[in-house]
A and B are shown apart, each in its own frame.
Chain A
């Protein structure tokens, strides 16, 4: 079922940019890339999503490669509160979400 591949864990120094990669080599033309994060004991929190253009909002930036086979989530200035598990999800019109194992990001003081 998994359509995405992410590293299991990453560390980032506080105040630096956190770059979280995701491979989705089998993505089809109408599928969006979504990013969520989950902090322990809370529900998944929506971060950003995109189809083919790069996107930016108040939380993060999403860079999608031209062939759309991979993407990177960028948290420009990581804080300790950004420590969480980050999920990259490919989602089509079927309105389904498959959360894989994600990347556990630890922001280090």
Chain B
């Protein structure tokens, strides 16, 4: 029944490790996004994919690599995790790219030790 689901919900790991966060949507949307919410609660877009094609790639370290195997999935892989990567990461999806409401998952809380 869940529209946009992310796994895991919590991720605690050590600096230097590589980790992945998965996102799946069952809304039939063709556009998916990754956002980072920092300690000040600002949500900043990181990546956006439309029909599996990358359309937005903000200034994000290349340690972050999104992968979209199909329109319903957008995974985020992070290499060599750093302390500053600790945040809540949100996945979202929308129907079309422009001026359409985005539907968010419940977030993945990443903590780097």
Measured CB to CB, the residues of A under 8 A from B are 32, 34, 41-46, 49, 85, 91, 93, 95-102
Interchain CB contact under 8 A, A99 and B106 = no
**Chain A residue with the shortest CB-CB distance to B56:** A95
Contact with A along B8-35 (1 / 0, CB 8 A): 0000000000000000000000010001
User: Which residues from chain A contact B31 at a C-beta distance below 8 Å?
Assistant: 95
| Complex contact B4–A43 (CB within 8 A) | yes
* A102 B41 Cβ-Cβ under 8 A: yes
> Which of chain A's residues has its CB closest to B9's CB?
A41
Stretch in contact with the other chain, from B59-67, B68-76, B78-86, B96-104: B96-104
Bound form: Cα–Cα A96–B42 in Å: 13
Q: How many B residues touch the partner, as a band?
A: 20 to 34
Residue numbers in B under 8 Å from A99 (CB-CB): 37, 41-43
| Contact assessment for A46 and B101 in the assembled complex, using a CB-CB cutoff below 8 Å | yes
> For residue B45, which residues in chain A have a CB less than 8 angstroms away from its CB?
96-97
**B102 pairs with A46, CB closer than 8 A:** yes
Complex alpha-carbon distance, A42 and B55, angstroms: 26
Per the bound structure, the CA–CA distance linking A97 and B105 in Å amounts to 15
Whether A93 pairs with B98 at a CB distance below 8 angstroms is: yes
Q: Is the CB of A95 within 8 A of B97?
A: yes
CA distance A102 to B35 in the complex (A): 17
Residues in B neighbouring A93, C-beta threshold 8 A: 98-99
* Alpha-carbon separation in the docked complex, A43 to B102 (Å): 11
Bound state CA distance, A99 and B55, in angstroms? Answer: 20
Given contacts A98-B42, A99-B42, A99-B43, contact A43 B104 (CB under 8 A): yes
Check A96–B106 contact: CB distance below 8 A.
no
Pairwise interchain contact B90-A95, C-beta atoms closer than 8 A: no
Contacts of A100 in B (CB 8 A): 42
Shortest Cβ gap from A9 to chain B (Å): 13
Q: Is the CB of A95 within 8 A of B55?
A: yes
Return the 9 tightest CB-CB contacts between A and B, nearest first.
A43-B104, A99-B43, A46-B101, A44-B104, A43-B106, A93-B98, A43-B105, A42-B106, A95-B97
